[in-house]
Structure 1
Amino acid sequence: MKLLTIIFALTTICCSSQDSATESKDIVADRSERVLIVYLSRTNNTKAIAEIIHEKVGGDLVALELVNPYPEDYKTIVAQVAKENETGFLPPLKTKIDNMETYEVVFVGFPTWGMQLPPPVKSFLNQYNLSGKTVIPFNTNGGYGVGSAFSTVKKLCPDSEVVEGFSTKGGVERDGILFVMEGEKEKEARLEIEQ
């Protein structure tokens, strides 16, 4: 299922029992207040996708930040993340969400790191109770796909409705190709989201 289909279903469900256009607008506005879009983005590609989703559904847009940010050097971060994945270390988050219980739908965006879910996203999913919520993962990657990331989201959200995720090719940092979500690539990403 494509992302826009999911988005349309969410807004249709909340509006289907309403009689007037005004009431429908109020319900959609109320629904968007119950949507959280949280994302991790190192090169701003995942951030760009999060912003496109935000344009479509509204809600709150929140970047995941760490208490101790990752180093800037690519090889150093790759080594650190590999060690975190190996040991199961969950880096503490600087980002705090005080009203998680008010959200019904949580979009979770991230890049693929080492063909896995990045440790900060694992921290988020371990720190917050998403039981009973609809969780929609979205991903950018260097062309190798999501690896085990979407299945890890499902594993970490056993009492949530985790719907099929959305994935698109972003940059390839190890090759020096960083932010790519502009121009034609941004148009392609928008079309992928809308299909």
Structure 2
Amino acid sequence: MITPQHHAALPSRRTVLRSALLTATAALSATYLAGCSPSSPRSGIPTSSQSAATTGSNVKRVLLAYFSRPGENYYYYYYYGGRIDLKVGNTEVLADKIGSRITCDTYRIQAADPYSSDYDAIVQRNVREQDTDARPAIEGRLPSLDGYDVILLASPIWNVRAPMIMTTFTEALDFRGKTVHPVTTYAMSGLDTTERDHAASCPGATIAEGFAVRGEEVKDADTEVEAWLRRIRLPVR
């Protein structure tokens, strides 16, 4: 109830009704705005049971699937076409940077017939696999994509495209309704054909903005990684 403090006369009936109406309207507006306000920050791993109705925003479950090869690598930019022996492959380094910044599950794609650490041997094998449109077998059980909304597919670029084992992976799973982001490490060619290749082998998926880092620069790519994750609207920890 509103009590006048500076008037000796009692308010008119019309004034009382108007004040009551304004009070009720303000209360209704406050309730509506409270219902639309952002929720507090969430913690932990998001699950498919969370929804916009209960959290205030859409929760995206993310799978980061990557293939990486250590050993002798060709470095074009800083090493002028020289070679360097890597204990950890460039794509694994990049996958670790991504995985440490967002909430996601990680799956490493490994060949049943391991790839050599010798650069020349890898070049020869990759040419054979590309020429024959091979599907190299993957070791172990493949993940289920059920419940995931976003899939990050990471690999090196070999002879202007992702290794054929990536097509083995994508063709074996159902990507319908998923958002796929290609991720690559490269010597000269960026994403090259990965967007087109994933579009062909992931029917029903949305191929969204990819990310490419020169292999020689991947260790210092923290700023670029975070900028890309923010552009594609994945919450950065």
TM norm structure 1: 0.75
Between Structure 1 and Structure 2, the one with more helix by share is: 1
2:62 maps to 1:25: no
Cα deviation 1:140-173 (Å, max 9, x = unaligned): 10033232222111111120011021111014xx
Q: Which of 204, 221, 225 is residue 159 of structure 1 equivalent to?
A: 204
Unaligned runs of 5+ in 1: 1-16, 172-179
Which residue in 2 is equivalent to 1:9?
none
CA shift, 1:20, in A, is 2.8
1:33/1:60 contact within 8 Å kept: no
Which residue in 1 is equivalent to 2:62?
35
In 1, the alpha carbon distance for the partners of 2:226 and 2:152 equals 18
Which residue in 1 is equivalent to 2:162?
117
TM norm structure 2: 0.63
* Equivalent AA in structure 1 for residue 112 of structure 2: V
Which residue in 2 is equivalent to 1:93?
138
Which residue in 1 is equivalent to 2:171?
126
1:48/1:181 contact within 8 Å kept: yes
Aligned CA RMSD, in angstroms, stands at: 2.5
CA shift, 1:52, in A, is 1.9
2:97/2:222 contact within 8 Å kept: no
In 1, the alpha carbon distance for the partners of 2:191 and 2:64 equals 19
Q: Select the structure with the greater relative contact order (CA < 8 A; seq sep ≥ 6).
A: 1
* Equivalent AA in structure 2 for residue 181 of structure 1: V
Aligned residues: 167
Name segments (4+ residues, structure 1) moved above 3 Å.
Answer: 186-195
In 2, the alpha carbon distance for the partners of 1:69 and 1:28 equals 33
CA shift, 1:188, in A, is 5.2
2:45/2:103 contact within 8 Å kept: no
1:33/1:59 contact within 8 Å kept: no
Determine what percentage of the aligned residue pairs are the same residue: 24
CA shift, 1:67, in A, is 0.8
In 2, the alpha carbon distance for the partners of 1:68 and 1:54 equals 26
2:179 maps to 1:140: no
Cα 1:163–1:96 change in 2 (3 A) is same
Cα deviation 1:76-103 (Å, max 9, x = unaligned): 1111111111101100101423432122
